[in-house]
Amino acid sequence: MRAARRRGEAGGREGLNVSSQPDSAFSAGAFADATPTDRQEFTYSVVGVQKAGTSTLQWLLNQHPQVCRPPRKEMGWFDVDEQTWQGVDHASYAVPRRSPVHRAMGDATPRYLLMPRALERMREHRPGMRLIAVFRDPIDRLVSQWVMVRARQPDRAPDWPEMIAWRPADFPREIPEEMRGRGERARFLRASGVVRGYYGGQVQHGLEVFPREQWLFLDFATLIADHGTVLDTVTDHIGVDRFGTHPPLKKLMAGTDTITGTRPTAEDLLSLARTFEPELAGFGRLTGLDVAQWTTSRLLAGSLDPAEQAERYAAKAGLA
């Protein structure tokens, strides 16, 4: 079968109108008689997080001569409901080999770290996958996601109060019972704005599924500030030579949208910071990344005025 192209984060419908089909570069029967040397397998995956530079990182890696460019940034192969997963020809998660110099190819689907069962499915079919996760301050990330979806679908996307409403005690490893049933995946994604910032729980789960040596954890701010050094670390991790000359940085999916909606308040930001506080503590311990200068940490420390930060967010969204 030919799997339908999903409309995920890169397509502007994430959390609103999401297909349940995984992407495939070609018909499932395309490699029925192919030998392994005819195929380029996916060897690494950028599994998270949304609005943290995953498009930028994937574009940079795609400039490498030893990296095969995938059909799309987000294949979404492992992020499906169980019925769809059981009906997929898993051998078609590959593309025709185009060059003998290609040694790697990546699937950058930021939902993999978030969605229940996605990493387990990946381990089942690609146990040696090299994994990369880029993280950004969870409140900055949440505001950026909200601005993006409101700009794309102002009449359908959640407004700020809905965006910050669902705050379970822990990172959900299964879709909650109250969301189960037809359309459960779309309901989960729509409600998951805050949960996407539960980094401690996401990393803990990821390390239980794949061994630590297959993971690389990156900070969004460092990627933007020193992308050459970050690229050297990433190319070492995915098993290709370092760039001779680093490609220029391009900030992809960095919107400057003006939206309509409810302005974030100082009280909202402080409440979110307290929600994220235990998650950041676990996250820093597990990854070794320094989060002291993140917005959430500075709000908690009292070194950043929440009212002033709320004004900055409102100005970014055109709500000043």
Cβ(102)–Cβ(40) below 8 Å: yes
Whether 1 is in a domain gets the answer: no
Residue 75 sits in which domain range? Answer: 9-316
- Determine the Cα–Cα distance for residues 139 and 146; give it in Å rounded to an integer: 11
Task: Give the H/E segment covering residue 135.
Answer: strand 130-135
Whether 4 is in a domain gets the answer: no
Cβ(22)–Cβ(88) below 8 Å: yes
Cβ(160)–Cβ(261) below 8 Å: yes
Cis-peptide into 147, omega within 30 deg: no
- Determine the Cα–Cα distance for residues 320 and 315; give it in Å rounded to an integer: 5
Q: pTM surpassing 0.85?
A: yes
Whether 3 is in a domain gets the answer: no
pLDDT in tens, the chain (320 residues): 233 333 333 333 333 322 233 333 322 333 333 344 689 999 999 999 999 999 999 999 999 999 999 999 999 999 988 888 988 888 889 999 889 999 999 999 999 999 999 999 999 999 999 999 999 999 999 999 999 999 999 999 999 999 999 999 999 999 999 999 999 999 999 999 999 999 999 999 999 999 999 999 999 999 999 999 999 999 999 999 999 999 999 877 666 568 999 999 999 999 999 999 999 999 999 999 999 999 999 999 999 999 999 999 999 999 97
Cβ(135)–Cβ(293) below 8 Å: no
Whether 195 is in a domain gets the answer: yes
Quick one: DSSP state of residue 164?
A: T
Radius of gyration of the chain (CA): 19
Whether 222 is in a domain gets the answer: yes
Q: CATH number, domain at 97?
A: 3.40.50.300
Burial code (b: 16+ CB inside 10 Å, e: under 16) for 111-124 equals bbbbbebbbebbee
Cβ(23)–Cβ(31) below 8 Å: no
Whether 2 is in a domain gets the answer: no
Total domains in the chain come to 1
